[in-house]
Chain A
Amino acid sequence: QQQVKQSPQSLIVQKGGISIINCAYENTAFDYFPWYQQFPGKGPALLIAIRPDVSEKKEGRFTISFNKSAKQFSLHIMDSQPGDSATYFCAASPNSGGSNYKLTFGKGTLLTVNP
């Protein structure tokens, strides 16, 4: 059972456009939702994260939107740049006792931003 479903698998956007990546989850115990960015040959790095007590979080050009009732969250990249070309992973974690160390990842989205 895939606990975090991510779409699309790949995305091509023109420079200056908006990139949107969507994720859905099933486990209602999840209450922490980070996004990781991975460049070729590197390990993933934390990009931005949200807790379900807010519906939106913005950091620079990156915004997470969260819909608790629909169990969905998404990453929006405004004014996309070629340097944003990378693989993006959504993830989820419960925040309870020993479980708050575990992250369940989506399958990833390969973003290509054309100049």
Chain B
Amino acid sequence: NAGVTQTPKFQVLKTGQSMTLQCAQDMNHEYMSWYRQDPGMGLRLIHYSVGAGITDQGEVPNGYNVSRSTTEDFPLRLLSAAPSQTSVYFCASSRDGGVVYYGYTFGSGTRLTVV
């Protein structure tokens, strides 16, 4: 049971480049989300999905795009990378019923640097 798998673990981008951060879970969780973690800022919600085909914006969605074509995968796309997007990105998932009952399972993160 792999849990939540994020790839890549590290990435350096040049300003203006685009890329996709991958997230996959094998727990058949309905709910998936993306957070970014910055020093002194905690974890901030970027986008989330309550099931295949359903996505919505979180607290800091600008510059990011998501889609959810399958239950297992929830990729995060950076459309045109900016230095302000330098951060550690975490994908998380939860069973249907929400984090209130089951909590989040987090991946190990992707450390992104935009130069």
| A interface with B by C-beta (< 8 Å) | 6, 9, 32, 34, 36, 41-46, 49, 89, 93, 95, 98, 100-108
A102: which of B41, B45, B90, B108 is its contact (CB, 8 Å)? Answer: B45
Bound form: Cα–Cα A44–B107 in Å: 8
Determine the chain B residues whose CB is within 8 A of the CB of A45 once the complex forms: 106
B50 at the interface (CB under 8 A from A): yes
User: In the complex, what residue of chain B is closest to A98 when comparing beta carbons?
Assistant: B50
Determine the chain B residues whose CB is within 8 A of the CB of A93 once the complex forms: 98-100
Within 8 A of A (CB), among B43-97: 43-45, 48, 50, 58, 90, 92, 94, 97
9 further A-B contacts with Cβ under 8 Å, apart from A43-B108, A102-B45, A108-B42, are A43-B106, A44-B43, A46-B104, A95-B98, A100-B97, A101-B31, A102-B48, A105-B43, A108-B40
Check if B103 sits within 8 Å of A43, measured CB to CB. no
Check if A101 sits within 8 Å of B43, measured CB to CB. no
Bound form: Cα–Cα A42–B90 in Å: 10
| B interface with A by C-beta (< 8 Å) | 4, 31, 33, 35, 40-45, 48, 50, 58, 90, 92, 94, 97-100, 103-104, 106-109
Determine the chain B residues whose CB is within 8 A of the CB of A42 once the complex forms: 108-109
Most buried by A among B4, B48, B97, B99: B99
A34: which of B31, B90, B103, B108 is its contact (CB, 8 Å)? Answer: B103
Check if A41 sits within 8 Å of B108, measured CB to CB. yes
B90: which of A9, A44, A104 is its contact (CB, 8 Å)? Answer: A44
Check if A44 sits within 8 Å of B104, measured CB to CB. yes
User: In the complex, what residue of chain B is closest to A100 when comparing beta carbons?
Assistant: B98
A-B residue pairs in contact (CB < 8 Å), sample of 8? A34-B103, A41-B109, A42-B108, A44-B106, A101-B31, A102-B48, A102-B58, A105-B42
Determine the chain B residues whose CB is within 8 A of the CB of A102 once the complex forms: 45, 48, 58, 99
A100: which of B58, B92, B99 is its contact (CB, 8 Å)? Answer: B99
Bound form: Cα–Cα A101–B45 in Å: 11
Determine the chain B residues whose CB is within 8 A of the CB of A43 once the complex forms: 4, 90, 92, 106-109
Check if B33 sits within 8 Å of A101, measured CB to CB. yes
